[in-house]
Chains A and B, each alone.
Chain A
């Protein structure tokens, strides 16, 4: 496989469930990102990992918990979510350094019941 792969593609969960989103990149990149895409809003950067270290947490509620065990994998652990958390969650990766383009996965469509 090549590029950035996200699983699952669709997820429906109740507010009390715990689930995880997975992202895997096969591009040899060393920075990874989580974004939230809601209807009629710009993409919101949630988390940034560079060399497996979290370098940005953009005021994201604690019910979202990222994990980056190595430079190829990124997880977003979800618990006790709210209906307003329903959105498309996009993962991206890039090489470190200014001007390096980010490569995106196809996203996980999350619906909270």
Chain B
């Protein structure tokens, strides 16, 4: 069965510092991996996705993620965070059910930015 683990429930970084959010997945085949961000009172917004090819994926808002098959990881990074990056971040692995995409989400990592 598919599963996703985000080991860090809450992370605090200073504005301008670098960021890495961890994600480990379990999936029987080549995974389809996603990172979403959720600001308070809003739905989830797609940051980036990985299907195949280059293992370093660029996303919106200056985020990137690296797929490492040997470690079953898909960590999200940003070289310099901004106060507006404070939000909840979700990693997800995708599978198919009768044509529709089924996503399994991790528990999320809440990011706080110190000024």
Chain B associates with chain A: yes
Q: Are B94 and A56 in contact (CB under 8 A)?
A: no
Q: Mark A50-84, 1 if CB is under 8 A from B, else 0.
A: 11000110000000000000000000000000000
Q: How many residues of B contact A (CB 8 A)?
A: 27
B1: Cβ under 8 A from any A Cβ: no
Q: Which residue of B lies closest to A49 (CB)?
A: B100
Q: Are A99 and B49 in contact (CB under 8 A)?
A: yes
Q: Are B97 and A105 in contact (CB under 8 A)?
A: no
A100: Cβ under 8 A from any B Cβ: yes
CB distance from A68 to the nearest CB of B (A): 12
CB distance from A96 to the nearest CB of B (A): 4
Q: Are A50 and B107 in contact (CB under 8 A)?
A: no
Q: Which of B41, B44, B45, B90 has the most CB of A within 10 A?
A: B44
Q: Which 6 A-B pairs have the closest CB atoms?
A: A104-B43, A50-B100, A31-B100, A55-B98, A96-B99, A104-B44
